[in-house]
Amino acid sequence: MPHAVPRHRPIVRITHWLNAVFLAGMIGSGLQIYTAYGHIGFHDDTFNVPNPFDASRMAIPQAVKLGGWLAGGLRWHFTLAWPFVLTGLAYVLFLVISGEWRALLFGPRDVPGAWQMTRYYLRLRKDHPPQGKHNPLQKSAYTFAIVLAMISILSGFAIAKPIQLSFLTSLFGGYEWARYWHFVAVWTFTAFIMAHVVMVFVADPASLRAIITGRYRGRHTSHE
């Protein structure tokens, strides 16, 4: 049996689970807000992008919404936004200070390794490629998730404060385009999280214990 090795420091585990709670609340309250006006598009005849998730075309169960009504959803959303941002900043600061960003962010030198991991998952390679804390495909996914989180947060503030943060709203192309950015980024981020959870249970259940206990004992321990 492989021996357990250190994997996640306390601050990583704490911020991970806190952000999971905050994000769940923000998704629920966001659905509550979206129900109030689920149409995404411009209000003139020149440009109106169809939205397959238009709230008028689909019933969002009340059980997955948070806030009870529009004002309640807004209050929950903005209340949870700040601790979500602060814990995210704490995690990023830890990555920078500790230097662990090198093991997490995808770079040009990870391209060959990503190709070898793809071959392994496609069963074109029998042996598992050597890896560090994260393999190249995991690093590309986490890097993508960080970018999505940043777009979600910035576009959210651009929508919430379009006058006070007019420069930010303009950066996204205006209020309606900021809504598009926020909608697409948030739901892509949510899809990533769902895929992340599925992959944890299917590909490497030991990583779930690691994010709880801080120590990893799994099939690829020898590559750590």
The 10s digit of each residue's pLDDT in 162-205 is 999 999 999 998 888 898 889 889 888 888 888 888 888 887 78
pLDDT at 223: 41
In the prediction, which pLDDT does 57 show?
Answer: 57
How deeply is 96 buried, as exposed, middle or buried, from its count of CB atoms within 10 A (0-12, 13-18, 19+)? exposed
CATH number at residue 34: 1.20.950.20
Q: How far is CA 12 from the centre of its chain?
A: 15
Q: What is the pLDDT of residues 46-67, one digit of tens each?
A: 455 556 556 555 677 888 889 8
Checking if the pLDDT of 94 tops 50, the result is: yes
- What's the domain count of the chain? 1
Segment 17-39 shows an average pLDDT of: 87
Structural domain boundaries, residue 156: 5-223
pTM of the model: 0.76
Residue 7 CA to residue 175 CA, distance in Å, equals 42
109, 138 in Cβ contact below 8 A? no
Mean predicted confidence (pLDDT) in 81-85? 92
Q: How confident is the model at residue 224 (pLDDT cuts 50, 70, 90)?
A: very low
pLDDT for 44 equals 56
Is pLDDT above 60 for 219? no
